[in-house]
Amino acid sequence: MSATILDEPLTSTNDEFGDLFDQYVADESLPSPDWLTQLKLDKPRRNIHCISESTRRWKRLLDIVSAGSLLVLLAPVMFLVAIAVRVTSRGPVIFRQTRVGLNLRQKKKDRRGSDSGIEPPEGQERRNSANHRRRDGGFGKPFTVYKFRTMKIDAEKDGPQFATKGDTRVTSIGRFLRKTRLDELPQLWNVLRGEMAFVGPRPERPEFIDGLTREIPNYINRLGLKPGLTGLAQIINGYDNDIESFKRKVNLDLLYLQNCCLLNDIKIMIRTIRVVLTGSGAI
C-alpha cells in the first residue's frame, strides 16, 4: 500500500471529480501509512457533507473533549511559554493570523464562455473572473488562528513569506517552540470554538492559497474538511515550504478525506504525541 493509493481504487460517475485520484500517484519519498484504517467507499468523498452525520457528531465530540481537557491540563505549560516569549523578545505573546478554513463551494461551469464572441453592451465592462466580487473569499471561510509568537515582530516587513530552515526571523525561544509544537497550543481555543478540528488539513494563509491553487491541481479540494490542529499530512510530511512538499501535503490530505473516521482520528492523535516528543518535521 502506498501513501497515495488506496487498496482498492475508488470510482465515481462524476468525471469532473473522478479523475482526482489520477492526478496523484504513488510518491516513493513518503512513508507508507500502513496503520491507517482503509474505508471501502462507493465513490470518492468531496467534502465533509459526504461523511455520515454520526461520524461528524462523534468527531466534534472528540474535538470538544480533547481541546477542553488539554487547555486545562496544559494551562501551566502555556503560562510558562507565555512568560518565556515575553521576556526573550519584543512584541505580543499571542500571534494572530488570518487563515482559510472549510470550503464547501463547488466549481461550476461558466456557461458564458470566453470565446462566445458576444460583446457586452456599450459602456459596460466585461466581467473578469480574476477580479469578480464573487471571487473574494472564494477559497474558503477565513478565520483568525492563534499561536504563540515565534518570530520577530518585523518578520514580514518585506511581505508574506514561507518559513525556511534556519530562518533568521525566528526568535531564540521560537525555535524550541516550533520544534516541540508548543507554539500551536493556543489553537486549542480555535478547536473549542469550532473553527478548527483536532484532526484535519492545516489551514493555509490567503496570501499563498491563490498561487498554490494555480500551481497544484485540485489543491482547493483539500479544504473540503474543517482545518485541523494535527493531521495525516502534519505527522508524515511535516512543515512545507516548497511546491513539492505542498503536493505531498495535498496528497495526504485527500487520502485522509477518503478515510476520515473516528478511529483514524484517534490513531493520528496518538502518533502526534511521538512527533511532538521527537520534534520530527520541524523548521
pLDDT in tens, 53-107: 999 999 999 999 999 999 999 999 999 999 999 999 889 999 999 998 888 766 5
Residue 250 has pLDDT above 90, yes or no: no
Which pLDDT score, from 0 to 100, does residue 133 have?
A: 40
Q: Is the pLDDT of residue 240 over 90?
A: no
Q: What is the DSSP string of the chain?
A: --SS--SS----S-HHHHGGGGS----TTSPP-TTSPPP--SS---SGGGS-HHHHHHHHHHHHHHHHHHHHHTHHHHHHHHHHHHHHSSS-SEEEEEEE----------SS-TTS-PPPPTT-PPP-TTT-GGGTTTTS-EEEEEEE--B-TTTTTT------TT-TTB-HHHHHHHHHTGGGTTHHHHHHHTSSEEESPPPB-HHHHHHHHHHSTTGGGGGGS--EEE-HHHHHH----SHHHHHHHHHHHHHHHHT--HHHHHHHHHHHHHHHHHTTT--
- pLDDT of 42 above 90: no
Give per-residue pLDDT as tens, 178-212.
889 999 999 999 999 999 999 999 998 888 888 88
As a whole number, mean pLDDT of residues 228-254 equals 84
Q: For position 129, what pLDDT does the model report?
A: 43
User: What is the pLDDT, as a whole number, of residue 88?
Assistant: 92
pLDDT of 28 reads 57
18-36 confidence digits (pLDDT tens): 444 444 434 555 666 889 9
Q: What is the pLDDT of residues 116-162, one digit of tens each?
A: 444 555 555 554 444 444 444 457 789 999 999 999 887 777 777 77
pLDDT for the residue numbered 8:
39
